Chains A and B, each alone.
Chain A
């Protein structure tokens, strides 16, 4: 059962091959068996079985939706009413959300079964899932390697078949990079496509929720539920949501693919480059035209990101002050002590680093040199994408410079860690959608191919990814021990 896609599971539930309760129980058993991967922070066993039971009734009554009774899991950044929502932090270890994020509400309405809450880097700050208060997540392809981050729990759980679909969030690569390192499919939608309400903010102008699955078709099904305007999120965009599955099989003959030369230069692992070349060739066989392009400002993305994201996070995380909810230090002697110790003890090292960087960047006398400058770079990067996407239909490139690195390998070196997002960050700054799909292996570890499209062209990306997955089998391969 655990190797089936959402479409196959939906079919099985309708044909009576298995019930949602049986399916959910099977997944719960698997989660227990593989808890060493540390993918889940909270497993909602009772709740999941209750929802599965209700789903079976709905299936029997004949008014189910596609996801009714399908076991999925939420990244622990999404608020879930009555269920602990930690954001991977000690700060929220005691926080039971009193409301549902819009995305969670939509999955609930669809009748999806939430198995639990997935591990992540603390407040989504990290590229290896090692900053989580709940410990590192292990990559099912190599248990000594990281799964990537910040949606590392989501990616590892999917690769290990501990859920058939999961949510992720992507601020600088947090869906695509772990998807690549764990060999699964991840989609970061256009900024504004998916509501951020109830998604704990890291960097508000960059954060975007999206689906993580094992196939493009499943991603289309998940996105269908997640996407759409939300009056509770002023930055969500009021545009109609297309039928994402309708065009999956469209021909991609004549598709113009741009390969920015800046993506394939120094820093990219040669084996990864070779794997990507093979993948691009596959597209050529499908009738696509390949064109080399240039995006001259890509090298500015990381410095701009590490001003903007920390600046926003320094304000976003100010609410965690020990006053109303979350961690509070013991016996504070006065207000200042309450603040400094609650925050000092509640936040981890990387979170503090980014709050400090952001506070500095916004300080009087530095604002223009850092924040304003970074915003100008952001505009340049958007121009780069606009120009590129005027010449070609999609841009392709690597997701990460190499395959999954070892646990502990980069955690002591923030700059090295930040550079692992070098190919993903510019996309968030521009706000365009992008996918990561499995495109082969290097020394037994997965390689991801990144496909970047124009604003609100998620349907096109899914179509391009799906066509590739029709002619390749990378996405179907389970890691050893998780078959």
Chain B
């Protein structure tokens, strides 16, 4: 039988606010345990939550970006369960009236575009962390993360393959970083995913029973976890078994999912409106203000890059993957005055390779856009060849000198003086009569030998166009 996979994702994005969602404590990552947990985060008797306006603002930005309905009136609710790293014994979340209503995100897989529905996105506080190592059979609690603002983004069950799920997750990751509402750091848990997976015979309308795979924190693992879970469910059903509704954990070491708890064991969270917090009212004026301030979104930017700069789709997509990279590109383009394609190739090629190798983001690039523009300008005005430019770039990467300083110091200026080139060409022709004979008898490949010899003599500084032209003329005589 042919099977179809049905996937819905719940993605927790940590909102990049300075302080926590209900207290003034810092959200910075990596501090010593419990040093960034104030009385409110510790859940001391008598403390009260106060909503962080910036978290609301960021949620609205997200809602506007996915063309969602923003609830004019949304309510915080208490989700009740006991866990040692949940200080109040309940999590403040949103249940019946989330801040962001239905919206959508378009993904592309194998050149085909698909619209994925987003059911809702709601604000909530993160819990702390339980530390099971280093305590000799006891558990340590670190409440630094408790109260960190999260936006939980829930998709419709619209994805039909692990590939689509990853495409959606990547797209969302790109979007939240574009919007500057989340740092997207998956290692630090700023962007994590729960996947709801079920299978059904192809053509069947009803959904199969789903399993929820919890807390997957990389694109690679999402793909593997979903593929594994799909295989497990199909095998189970084909062997006469039944999928049960349960929560599963993905083990990336063993590449398998295993059961955490079944629906029967699931908590009754007893949601009810939190009486410590007032409902959140979002006015039309506020929405209009947020909309006016929305940055150009990835899709629109990509299309603009293709149209305005005549870039191919791959280059445009790579450049617009992050807003900062796109900005860098446009700055280089403007400052160098070079062709867009040259700038794009350098940034997606040489620069990206160097950044990847060093494990850096564009914002941490040792070569600023001003310096790269300076280099590309020298290619554009024929001062240096592309090959020499790579050499100059290496130098720039290591130090702080500009391209002009390096070119001057190393004497790398390209020779365009045709008299100097001609002298060398004449000599090489004279020294290699055999090869000249071969060329003239029709072996075109020998031409490259002559180019190589000339460039070698001139230490790569000759203008390749000029060399080609002159060589052709002299050899065909």
Contact = CB atoms under 8 A, between A and B. Distances in A.
Interface of A: 78-79, 85, 87, 92, 95, 97-99, 101, 196-201, 203-205, 231-235, 311-312, 314-315, 317-321, 323-325, 335, 339, 359, 362-364, 367, 371
**Chain A contact residues: over half helix, strand or loop, or mixed?**
loop
A324 B43 contact: yes
Nearest to A335: B84
Given A339-B82, A362-B80, A362-B272, A319 B48 contact: no
Contacts of B276: 201, 204, 234-235
Interface stretch (B87-95, B152-160, B316-324, B364-372): B87-95
A402 B141 CA distance: 51
A334 to B, nearest CB: 11
A196 B82 CA distance: 25
Contact of B90 (A87, A197, A315): A315
Nearest to B143: A324
A203 B276 CA distance: 10
B272 A315 contact: yes
B45 A196 contact: no
A232 B48 contact: yes
Given A315-B90, A319-B87, A323-B84, A371 B272 contact: yes
Given A318-B88, A323-B84, A95 B45 contact: yes
Nearest to B83: A335
Contacts of A335: 84
A234 B44 contact: no
Interface in B266-286: 268, 270-272, 275-278
Contacts of A231: 50
Nearest to A204: B275
B354 interface: no
A197 B277 contact: no
Interface of B: 39, 42-51, 78, 80, 82, 84, 87-90, 141, 268, 270-272, 275-278
A315 B44 CA distance: 14
A78 B268 CA distance: 32
Q: Of A101, A311, A323, A371, which is in contact with the most chain B CB atoms at under 10 Å from its CB?
A: A323
Nearest to A207: B275
Contacts of A362: 80, 270-272
Those 8 A-B pairs whose CB atoms lie nearest each other, nearest first? A318-B89, A205-B275, A362-B270, A204-B275, A198-B46, A319-B43, A200-B45, A79-B46
A97 to B, nearest CB: 7
Contact of B82 (A200, A321, A325, A364): A321
A321 B89 contact: yes
Contacts of B50: 231-234
Contacts of B80: 314-315, 318, 362
Given A200-B45, A235-B48, A315-B78, 5 more contacts: A92-B45, A99-B39, A201-B45, A315-B270, A324-B141
Nearest to B22: A234
Contacts of A87: 45
Contacts of A312: 275
B82 A318 contact: yes
B275 A198 contact: no
Contacts of A325: 44-45
B270 A98 contact: no
Q: Of A85, A233, A319, A335, which is in contact with the most chain B CB atoms at under 10 Å from its CB?
A: A319
A197 B47 CA distance: 6
Contacts of A203: 275
A111 B447 CA distance: 98
A401 to B, nearest CB: 29
Contacts of B51: 234
Contacts of A317: 89
Nearest to B81: A318
Contacts of B271: 362
Contacts of A79: 44-46
A101 B78 contact: no
Contacts of A201: 45-46, 276
Contacts of B272: 311, 315, 362, 367, 371
B49 A234 contact: yes
Nearest to B269: A364
A97 B268 contact: no
A85 B23 CA distance: 23
B275 A319 contact: no
Q: Of B45, B82, B90, which is in contact with the most chain A CB atoms at under 10 Å from its CB?
A: B45
A74 to B, nearest CB: 12
A311 B275 CA distance: 11
B268 A235 contact: no
Contacts of A204: 275-276
Q: Of B44, B50, B277, which is in contact with the most chain A CB atoms at under 10 Å from its CB?
A: B44
A295 B51 CA distance: 37
Contacts of A197: 46-48
